[in-house]
């Protein structure tokens, strides 16, 4: 047996070389087969695309045709009006308003006189909406609001309040006894509305100047007087001085009972005098 300088048999080296050539040949055939399959696949896709183009005339129409075919496979619900949808909902209560969902009501009763009741609606971000409480004398059915004036003095007009930035620079400062507006009613009475909180005036409801009766609407529909940013240092103390919704309802019930009792006593006195 012949041996070269590398001490490896020549016959063994020849066999190894033949095996490598066979492997290379097999790999080359596999690659050619894969390339052929890939080209055939691309040819099929190209021919299919060309057929779609011939049917539709352009690429966009071809795509829309495919979407239309998909739409026919899916049954869409009828396009009914939202009122028809609500009729199918079985709910006997009232849906909460924006004010009910995001604001907490606080009340101040008899601020300057009896039934001079103020409501302060506080948002979760501590911004406050100032309005009249439902029990205020100006909101009773026997009178009508004829005028809302934000010029509380000859030198101070709340409408001229201008603010800028998150800190509300330039805002008019407010104290608990600061006047917000003057309300005039059809019976000739006027009510000077106090702020009842310490803070900065963000804006007043200028729509009330043209339509004072808007104050009869809920706050989220324009029935508010002003927006106030309270002083955070006095916020907790302010809440303690105000009534919650439950406390307010209880006080109004007590007030109603007292009025009924007073009227009953007057009727008894009148009957005794007549008799």
Whether residue 111 contacts residue 196, with contact meaning beta carbons closer than 8 Å, is answered with: yes
The string of pLDDT tens digits covering residues 173-225 is 999 999 999 999 999 999 999 999 999 999 999 999 999 999 999 998 999 99
Whether residue 133 contacts residue 118, with contact meaning beta carbons closer than 8 Å, is answered with: yes
Nearest C-alpha neighbor of 130 from the set 196, 72, 67: 196
The string of pLDDT tens digits covering residues 248-268 is 999 999 998 886 766 665 555
The CATH class given to the 98-260 domain equals mainly beta
- Give the number of C-alpha atoms closer than 13 A to the C-alpha of residue 258, restricted to the C-beta side: 7
For residues 249 and 14, the model is more confident at 249
User: CA torsion, points 119, 153, 222, 176, in degrees to nearest 10?
Assistant: -20
Task: Over range 76-96, report the average pLDDT.
Answer: 66
95 pLDDT exceeds 80?
no
Residues 162, 126: Cα–Cα separation, whole Å: 20
Average pLDDT across the chain, whole number: 78
Question: What's this model's pTM, rounded to 2 decimal places?
Answer: 0.63
Q: Domain locations in the chain?
A: 15-70, 98-260
Residue 255: exposure state from Cβ atoms within 10 A (0-12, 13-18, ≥19): middle
């Amino acid at each position: 047996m012949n041996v070269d300088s590398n001490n490896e048999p020549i016959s063994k080296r020849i066999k190894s070389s033949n095996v490598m050539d066979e492997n290379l040949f097999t790999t080359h055939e596999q690659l050619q087969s894969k390339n052929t399959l890939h080209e055939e696949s691309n040819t099929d896709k190209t021919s299919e695309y060309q057929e779609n183009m011939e049917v539709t005339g352009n690429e966009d129409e071809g795509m829309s045709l495919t979407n239309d075919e998909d739409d026919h496979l899916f049954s869409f619900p009828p396009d009914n009006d939202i009122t028809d949808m609500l009729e199918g909902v079985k709910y006997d209560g009232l849906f909460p308003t924006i004010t009910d969902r995001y604001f907490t009501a606080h009340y101040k009763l008899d601020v300057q006189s009896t039934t001079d009741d103020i409501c302060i609606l506080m948002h979760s971000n501590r911004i406050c909406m100032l309005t009249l409480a439902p029990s205020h004398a100006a909101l009773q059915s026997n009178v009508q609001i004829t005028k809302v004036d934000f010029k509380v003095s000859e030198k101070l007009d709340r409408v001229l309040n201008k603010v800028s930035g998150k800190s509300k620079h330039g805002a008019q400062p407010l104290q608990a006894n600061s006047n917000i507006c003057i309300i005039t009613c059809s019976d000739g009475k006027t009510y000077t509305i106090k702020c009842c909180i310490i803070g900065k005036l963000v804006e007043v409801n200028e729509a009330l100047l043209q339509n004072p009766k808007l104050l009869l609407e809920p706050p989220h529909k324009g029935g508010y007087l002003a927006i106030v940013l309270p002083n955070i240092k006095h916020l907790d103390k302010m809440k303690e001085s105000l009534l919650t919704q439950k406390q307010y309802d209880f006080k109004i019930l007590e007030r109603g009972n007292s009025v009924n009792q007073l009227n009953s006593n007057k009727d008894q006195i009148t009957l005794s005098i007549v008799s």
